[in-house]
Structures are given as C-alpha cells and as structure tokens.
Chains A and B, each alone.
Chain A
Amino acid sequence: DADVTQTPRNRITKTGKRIMLECSQTKGHDRMYWYRQDPGLGLRLIYYSFDVKDINKGEISDGYSVSRQAQAKFSLSLESAIPNQTALYFCATSDDEWNEQFFGPGTRLTVL
C-alpha cells in the first residue's frame, strides 16, 4: 500500500465551487505539505504543517485553506475555485528538517 495517498486523483469542477483535496499518510511523519505544479513552473508550496496544531502559509496560499485533522491527515480546500487553480496538486510528508519529502501520487484538478 502507498505510504502517502491522495483523493481524488482527478477532479473536474466549475468556477465558484468549493473543492476539498485529501491527503493521508501511514509514514508516521509530523510534517505535511501541499504543493501545486503548473507546466514549466516546478512545484510551489501552498501550505505546510509541522504538527497538528501548527499550520503555516507557503509561497502561494491565497485562495486556499487547509485543515490538519490528525497527524496522518492534511486536507486542502479551495473555497471558491477559479480557472487559474487548474493544476496538479501534490501532498508530501517528512520527518525532519532535512526535508527528504515523500510525495503522494498527485491530484489533477481542472476548474472550468
């Protein structure tokens, strides 16, 4: 079984809809991250959490919110989706500051 899972794997939605992407991990790591990847732009950090009570904004947090429901679960929400949020979204985990991060398989989100 995969250590880091993401649901859904693909989602098509309409402008203005609320969307939640979920991430679960079985690695027992405290640190969890959400990234988005756009063609030609690499991975950019949206939010990160170092433990259940610690949530931090990343480089591109506007338009997104997160919830750390448990050590193993970290959800990303788009309160009102817009077309330029169409991207590939990755969740990742790590267990120390040296940041060897373990990534989930990604969620491809399309906002029409």
Chain B
Amino acid sequence: DQQVKQNSPSLSVQEGRISILNCDYTNSMFDYFLWYKKYPAEGPTFLISISSIKDKNEDGRFTVFLNKSAKHLSLHIVPSQPGDSAVYFCAATGVYGGSQGNLIFGKGTKLSVKP
C-alpha cells in the first residue's frame, strides 16, 4: 500500500500563475517531508523540506504547507516559470520511526508551465 501519494500525474499551468502540487501520506510516524524536482536525463534534486513541527516553509518562489491532521502537504510555486517544468516528487521520512529514516517517495507529478 502506498504510504506517500501524489494523485495528480500531471499539471499544466500558465507562466506567471501559481502551481500547486499536492501530496498525501498515510503513516503518522512520518515527521519530515521533502520535495524533489527532476528534469529528464538528470537525477532528482532537492527543492525544499518541512519538519512536522512547522506548518509552512518558504524559499523564494517555493512554499511548502503541511497539514498534519489531514496528512497532507502541498508545494506552491509563485510565479511559475517555464524552467519549472519538471517532475516533482514528494518524499517522507520518519527519523524516529516509520521508515528507519529512509525516504518514501510518491509517484511524482509532471508540471508543465506554458509560456
């Protein structure tokens, strides 16, 4: 059973608008969440993370929101740029249990930002 779910395989957004990528998790032991971005023919690269003691973390155009009660997190990209077009993976880990500290990845969402 999937512990980290990204239910939207793809998302298309106009340049300059907001992109919202969603992720749900089932394991209540997860306490640290990360987003990775992957371009074709490259390995994933770390984008932003959030600890379960926070509900928001911001880094430039990227903001991650965490709703622990709903076991839901989202990545907001504002404004979206064509260079943001990539596959985005949500990942979760439970440092103190839940996955032995290893990352559990979602299946990814392919974001396309149209000029």
A contact set with B: CB distance below 8 Å: 4, 33, 40-45, 48, 56, 58, 90, 92, 97-106
Contact = CB atoms under 8 A, between A and B. Distances in A.
Nearest to A104: B43
A99 B102 contact: yes
Contact of A48 (B43, B46, B89, B102): B102
Given A42-B105, A104-B43, A106-B42, A99 B93 contact: yes
Contacts of A97: 95, 101
29 contacts: A4-B43, A40-B9, A40-B107, A41-B107, A42-B6, A42-B105, A42-B106, A42-B107, A43-B44, A43-B89, A43-B105, A44-B105, A45-B103, A56-B100, A90-B43, A90-B44, A92-B43, A97-B95, A97-B101, A98-B49, A98-B93, A99-B93, A99-B95, A101-B46, A102-B46, A103-B43, A104-B43, A105-B41, A106-B41
A43 B43 CA distance: 11
B113 to A, nearest CB: 21
Contacts of A104: 43
Given A40-B9, A42-B89, A42-B107, A103 B45 contact: yes
Contacts of B43: 4, 90, 92, 103-106
Interface in B43-62: 43-46, 49
Given A4-B43, A40-B9, A101 B103 contact: yes
Interface string B93-111: 1010000111101111000
A103 B95 contact: no
A106 to B, nearest CB: 5
Contacts of B103: 43, 45, 99, 101
A105 B107 CA distance: 18
Contacts of A99: 32, 34, 91, 93, 95, 101-103
B90 to A, nearest CB: 9
Interface in B63-115: 89, 91, 93, 95, 100-103, 105-108
B105 A100 contact: no
Interface string B26-49: 000000101010000111111001
